Every structure is written in structure tokens, then in C-alpha cells.
Amino acid sequence: MRQHNGRNRIISFCISCTLVNHTNAWAGTRTSAAGRRTYRSTSKLNSLVPEAAASILAGSIAGAMGVGVAFPLDTLKTKQQVEAEKCSRIEYVLSPAGTVTIRAVTSNLFTTIVDTWNDEGPGGFYGGVRTSMAGQAVIKATAFGVNNAVLHAGHDLATAAATAGLATAFLACPVDRIKVLMQTGSFDTESECVRSVLRTEGASGLLTTGLVPTLFREVPAYALYFYLYGRLAASSLLGTDVLGAMAPLVDGALAGAACVVPVHPVDVVKTIVQHSGADWREVVREVYERQGPKGFWEGLSPRVGRAAVNHSVTFAAYEALLHTL
């Protein structure tokens, strides 16, 4: 009978839930002689369904909670990234010779917070949060199922993670489109946003705008997260043998925060595409011409913070929910 240890169970959970999901749903639990939890497959339908349902439900709810708690940071990230598109902050420089030059200035995190608070109040940090939480619950449940199916087809965790990223990108694209438009204050309500996009752009405006950069972000991010989390979980400093129950929280936050860095330029392009509706190649060219390479790193600080908070909350909530279901 095939067995999986607790570490692999936690690793696979992280990947399939948009970097935080549980993968061994089709399993029962027992305690080995060494006191560690091991997992075994079961052929009894009445045991299989409750275990799978509990894992999916806990992962979905926990993922939505993580998104909600970290949403203000996500909003700040989006606002900073959009500035790379419109260069809305302008500085006029007067030289000693009397020549006036215009320079686009991007804001730092503090000024973005102040501007959002002054212009929109507390609600400005939560534009689109309802759609994002509901959407992420569905996305995480889907990622969980895809990752699980690929694993049980005999593929390794890296392949399963990348496949889950590929599948969930098609769901994440419309959810992110609404989120970006709401976070940038383009619409007052999410229903108004959806109706307007459908009326002016058709279904493709929701389903495919930003899909290419979303795919280029999700697939490598999933695979990279698996690698980073696996190394951390197996390390002598931050592994499960050292941190015990705290390992998923600590390792998940560290790996999640680290894996967003390499794909951040793609996320900047995705955000601008979904805000403006422009072709992604045009966006890449314009950002580079206006700000150079640094334009592709707008919003990195709040995004790293958002990833750490999101993953920590998700893990904590998942474990609590799983023990009560």
C-alpha cells in the first residue's frame, strides 16, 4: 500500500491552492510507530468522499480568508503598477538656464497609502475584495483538484504544480480583470464593472484580457514555489522536524514571498494590460521606453508583503478548519 509522509502532504497542499493548497485529499491518516503522521490510500468510497470534501472546503475557505486579509497590500501593489502605465505623478524641473523639463515620478509605498486614504478613504483599499475572495475560493478548489488528479496519474509534484497553474490561469484572468479595475477606481461597484466590460468589450474582455501574461506568471510561479518550499521544508533550520506545526506557516510565507520576485515583471505587465486593455507587447514596449527596466518592478514591496501575509493566514486557517470539519 502506497504511503506519503506529512511533508509531501503539506508541500502539495501549498502548490495546488495558488501556491497554498493541500494535495493528498484522497487519503486517510494514521500514526506511525515513530509518532509521525503518514498517509495511506483508501478504496472505501464512504471514507474517500468526506476526506476529499473536507480538504477542498478547508482549502477554499482558508484561501479566501488569506486573500481578504492581505487585500490592502494587493491594492497598493496594483496602484503602484498602474503608475508605470500612466505616469500620473508629474514633476516639473526648472534648470538654472530657465528650461523646464517634465519628469514622471513614481510614488513610494508611503505616498501611495496616503493618497489612497485621502482620495478614497478606508474603502479604497478594498475595491473588488468580494469578487477576489469568491473567485479565489473557486480557483483554489480547482487547483486542488487538478493537482490531485495529476499526482494520482503518476506524475511528480513539479509537473502537478505547473499543470495546476496552467488550469487556474484561465479562472484567475477574469477575476483579476475585475479586481484590477476596481482597485484602480475605474468603477463604483463590481456589478457595474462586469456589465460595462461585457457591453464594451464582450466576453473576451473578461475572459482573455491579460491571459498571456497570466499564464506566464502562474505556471512558473507554481513550479518555483514547489521547489522553494520543498527545500525549506527539508532544511535543518526551517524544516518540519525543527519547527513542527509552525513549519507550514513559516516556510509557506517565505517561499510564497520569494517566488513572486522573479515573475514580478510579468505581473506588472498583466496588471497594466488588464487596466488598459492594451496588447501585452505594446505594454512591454511602452513601460520600457518611459521608465526603463525599473518600470517592471513597480509595486514589488507590497506584493512581497501581501504574499507572506496571504500564505501565513491561509495555512493557519486551513489547519484550524481541517481539524473542525
Alpha helices, DSSP H, located in 184-263 = 190-201, 203-207, 211-234, 240-243, 247-259
Per-residue pLDDT at 250 exceeds 70 = yes
User: pLDDT tens for residues 196-229?
Assistant: 999 999 999 999 999 999 999 999 988 887 778 7
Tell me if residue 37 falls in helix, strand or coil.
strand
User: 263 pLDDT exceeds 90?
Assistant: yes
What sign does the dihedral 222-26-56-72 (CA atoms) show? negative
Please state the rounded mean pLDDT for residues 65-78: 92
Mean pLDDT of the chain: 77
**pLDDT (tens digit, 9 = 90+) per residue, 153-188?**
888 888 888 998 899 999 999 999 999 999 998 898
What global pTM score does this model have? 0.76
pLDDT band at 231 (very low <50, low <70, confident <90, very high): confident
DSSP element (H, E) containing 15: helix 6-16
The pLDDT, as a whole number, for residue 86 is 56
Among 86-100, 145-159, 230-244, 280-294, the minimum mean pLDDT is found in 86-100
- Give the model's pLDDT for residue 302: 93
Sign of the dihedral defined by the CA atoms of residues 133, 134, 139, 144, in that order = positive
Residue 43 neighbours by CB under 8 Å, 6+ apart: none
Of the given ranges (6-20, 226-240, 286-300), which has the lowest mean pLDDT?
Answer: 6-20
